[in-house]
Amino acid sequence: MDNLLSMEHLSTNEIHELIQRASAIKKGDLKPQRYEDKFVANLFFENSTRTKSSFLVAEQKLGLKLIDFETNTSSVQKGESFYDTCKTLEQVGADVLVIRHSQTTYYEELKSLNIPIINGGDGSGQHPTQSLLDIMTIYEEYQSFEGLNILICGDIKNSRVARSNFQSLSALGANVMFSSPEAWKDCSLDAPYVDIDTVIDHIDIVMLLRVQHERHDNGESTSFEANNYHEQFGLTQARYDKLHNQAIVMHPAPVNRGVEIDHSLVEASKSRIFKQMENGMYLRMAVIDYILQTKGAETNEVIK
């Protein structure tokens, strides 16, 4: 695996390898290699708390040296192109780039780079490390994906998490369903849309999505009414009470309490929302370690 750009590019074997590697690191059964001679640059062109901070901690735990980069103090502000920024970081010694960008499939214009890219989220496209940490969290609960009933609720059209998880979890054998307002459906994804109240009692995982206001036009934003949305598509206490005993609740965060999920349910017994955040750091350690080991093996092969 040279890069991590999209869940579409990962085989099910690679998915299993990455989550098992992350789980072993978490349990202390695997001590990953230290990369004290390697440099990483995190290019976050969109705001982020969980993804950016967990990558930072993962990189430091692996011994990587961080190249300081902030978009608001870089030459991006002088009109430098996205490609030239990335190429510059490659030339000054970066061994891997972690990138989040508002442009969907931004990585298509970076094909001539000679260092690995890890996609930290591209527009409404993909968020592969989020999908992998979600898969890891589900695996910790069920040890399998075959036949699991998974309901993803919310802003499907604008969610890179919905796209990534639908593709990966379906490939792993889960039954993925969507529930969404009509305007936020994505017909390019071949999943059934259901009424949340007709399926909630036999769902194994209910995954709530943040409403992506920043990707809506002004009409959608001004007409949005949080209380109505919560009653129609959110996880209310009444819906939570209908979940079976082994069901779990997930959310990629940031959570809008009282919109996607009732305030009191964020840390309820079935919630794994903060567990997802914890797993994110271990998963990102596993991804970086795997990619750098692959790159090192290729380099050694060339030397031989």
Question: From the CA atom positions of the chain, what is the Rg in Å?
Answer: 20
Tell me the one-letter amino acid at 9.
H
- Residue 16 known to bind ligand: no
Whether the Cβ atoms of residue 121 and residue 46 lie closer than 8 Å to each other: yes
Contacts of 253 (CB under 8 A, 6+ apart): 50, 210, 273, 276, 277
- Residue 230 known to bind ligand: no
* Per-residue exposure over 94-128, b if at least 16 CB sit within 10 Å of its own CB, e if not: bbbbbbbbeeeebbeebeebebbbbbbbbbbbbbb
Cα separation, 304 vs 104, whole angstroms? 39
Cα separation, 188 vs 201, whole angstroms? 27
- Residue 215 known to bind ligand: no
- Residue 284 known to bind ligand: no
Structural tokens at position 124: 């409404």
Structural tokens at position 198: 């007709």
- Residue 293 known to bind ligand: no
Q: What is the Cβ-side half-sphere exposure of residue 186, based on CA atoms within 13 angstroms?
A: 22
Identify the DSSP state of 183.
Answer: G
Cα separation, 152 vs 191, whole angstroms? 10
Whether the Cβ atoms of residue 240 and residue 270 lie closer than 8 Å to each other: yes
- Residue 160 known to bind ligand: yes
Structural tokens at position 211: 């409403």
Cα separation, 54 vs 95, whole angstroms? 19
Tell me the one-letter amino acid at 144.
S
- Residue 21 known to bind ligand: no
Three-state secondary-structure class, residue 93: coil
- Residue 192 known to bind ligand: no
- Please identify which residue in the block is written with the tokens 């040890």: 143
Structural tokens at position 121: 């989220």
- Residue 22 known to bind ligand: no
- Residue 210 known to bind ligand: yes
Question: Which residues line the annotated binding site for L-aspartate?
Answer: 78, 160, 210
Which residue positions form the known binding site for carbamoyl phosphate?
50-51, 100, 127, 130, 253-254
Task: Could you list the residues known to form a binding site, using ranges.
Answer: 50-51, 78, 100, 127, 130, 160, 210, 253-254
